């Protein structure tokens, strides 16, 4: 699927990138989880911001997300759900309805 990427798309990705993430994780390991997972999501957003104009397809976006999903898929449920929320927000910014089944191998389904 070819994506419509304009300056407002890039701005919205940049805004998500600058946002503090995982602030609502509960429990004692929350700070450790945040310090591990926030850079993971930010790195994905950096890749997307850098390359989405030259690769404006949903397939390329999913390829960029795959290592991120692989890195978080064994996290505890609450952390994993928050990661999925960030991916979902990214999909919405880019106008992608879902992952097309790409992440089923990690048992993560939209």
Question: Any idea where the domains of the chain sit in the sequence?
Answer: 7-106
| Mean pLDDT calculated for residue range 28-35 | 87
Phi-psi sector, 21: left (phi>0), alpha (psi -120 to 50), beta: beta
pLDDT at 101: 82
Angle (CA) 7 16 53, round 5°: 35
**7-106 CATH pick, 2.60.40, 1.20.58, 1.20.1480, 1.10.10:** 1.20.1480
CB contact at 8 A, 51 and 83: no
| Mean pLDDT calculated for residue range 79-105 | 89
- 23, 35, 58, 76, 82 from 95: Cα distances, Å: 26, 29, 9, 28, 20
pLDDT(81) > 70 = yes
| Mean pLDDT calculated for residue range 15-40 | 92
In this structure, the dihedral spanned by the alpha carbons of residues 20, 64, 57 and 100, taken in order and rounded to 10 degrees, is -90
Kindly state the percentage of the chain with pLDDT values over 90: 72
Least confident of 9-13, 47-51, 85-89, 104-108: 104-108
């Amino acid at each position: 699927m070819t994506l419509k990427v304009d300056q407002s798309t890039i701005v919205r990705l940049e805004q998500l990138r600058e946002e503090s993430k995982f602030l609502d994780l509960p429990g004692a390991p929350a700070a450790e989880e945040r310090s591990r997972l926030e850079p993971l999501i930010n790195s994905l957003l950096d890749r997307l911001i850098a390359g989405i104009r030259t690769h404006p397809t949903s397939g390329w976006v999913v390829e960029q997300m795959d290592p991120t999903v692989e890195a978080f898929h064994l996290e505890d449920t609450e952390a994993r759900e928050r990661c999925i929320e960030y991916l979902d927000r990214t999909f919405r910014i880019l106008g992608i309805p879902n992952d097309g089944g790409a992440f089923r191998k990690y048992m993560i389904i939209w």
